[in-house]
A and B are shown apart, each in its own frame.
Chain A
């Protein structure tokens, strides 16, 4: 995985665009790099962009509040036995 600090070219631009998105501070990891699930896509910046464009579209308070989205996501991870 290539982190935002080591990224160059298209990947660096993709990280910059993602970092500029409006997201709650709690989603920004304390290590200062992009979240691991984002870095997991670092070998393919185009995949990173389309994947997290969909992720961003799901942040919509009109139909599901943030706490309700978190509940759904946490429960999904629980059933999948995944820490993420």
Chain B
């Protein structure tokens, strides 16, 4: 999979990979035309909703793996990935050009119902607790990640969660880097937050909350694509 975009794929797989690519790199651009193309090659709304939730959840796993500097579990005949750490993320448009996807969403968890309750349990656990991180710190992390994904509705929900002090600014900066360029996450950033008073449990909390928002915003943007 050295260059996945050159893999020979059937039309449905190629279309799915196109959607996955948009959701990964520029999820704020996904729109009705993308879903129409997918439906035109025979992909059902259930398949599309499943694919959106699946790839969005993998963004969480990737970011956790990067943040904790995970070791390899498996032997592989493939060459080790060499990261282009200098790779720049795609430039974000200004907030005035973000769209909320107003109107009825094109897709919802009703199209892939088996994931709805587990997603809700996961969301509630990561967003509604008061420890190790406080609710406000969670919201600061989530707002920074939502803003980095141009998720207008997500930012609007967390409008008062702009950073107010040095620790909150560092939390927001970490969530921003994790979101736009996870390949640049370093242990130094976590060490700095540890010096700011977070223990290992707090660091896992911050990593998982910021990574969660990478999933939640992508699901929202994917599901509301039909309104853009």
Q: Mark A residues whose CB is within 8 Å of B.
A: 1, 29-31, 35-37, 40-41, 43-44, 46-47, 50-51, 53-58, 60, 62-64, 68-69, 71-84
Query: Are A30 and B121 within 8 A (Cβ)?
Result: no
Partner of B58, one of A1, A53, A77: A77
| Given A64-B50, A75-B17: A80 and B64 interface contact (C-beta under 8 Å) | no
B188 CB to nearest A CB, Å: 19
Verify A50–B50 contact, CB threshold 8 A: no
B96 CB-CB contact with A under 8 Å: no
Q: Is the CB of B201 within 8 A of A79?
A: no
Q: Are A63 and B44 in contact (CB under 8 A)?
A: yes
Contact among B9, B54, B183 with A64 in the assembled complex (CB-CB below 8 Å): B54
Interface check B101, CB cutoff 8 A: no
Chain B, interface SS category = helix
Cα A31 to Cα B71 in complex, Å, equals 12
Q: What would 20 more interface pairs be, CB under 8 Å, given A47-B208, A55-B61, A81-B83?
A: A1-B68, A41-B208, A47-B125, A47-B204, A51-B60, A54-B118, A54-B119, A54-B122, A60-B112, A63-B46, A68-B16, A71-B17, A72-B58, A75-B1, A75-B20, A77-B58, A79-B21, A80-B59, A82-B62, A82-B182
Contact partner of B51 (CB less than 8 A), chosen from A31, A57, A72, is A72
A35 touches B73 (CB 8 A): yes
Contact A57 B114, CB 8 Å, known A74-B1, A78-B1: yes
With an 8 Å Cβ cutoff, the count of chain B residues facing the other chain is: 57
B50 lies within 8 A of A82 (CB): no
Residues in B neighbouring A58, C-beta threshold 8 A: 50, 53-54, 57, 115
Chain A residues, Cβ within 8 Å of B4: 74-75, 78
Output the least CB separation between A37 and chain B (Å). 6
Cα A60 to Cα B21 in complex, Å, equals 22
Tell me the bound Cα distance from A33 to B63 in angstroms: 21
Question: Min CB distance, B18 to chain A, in Å?
Answer: 10
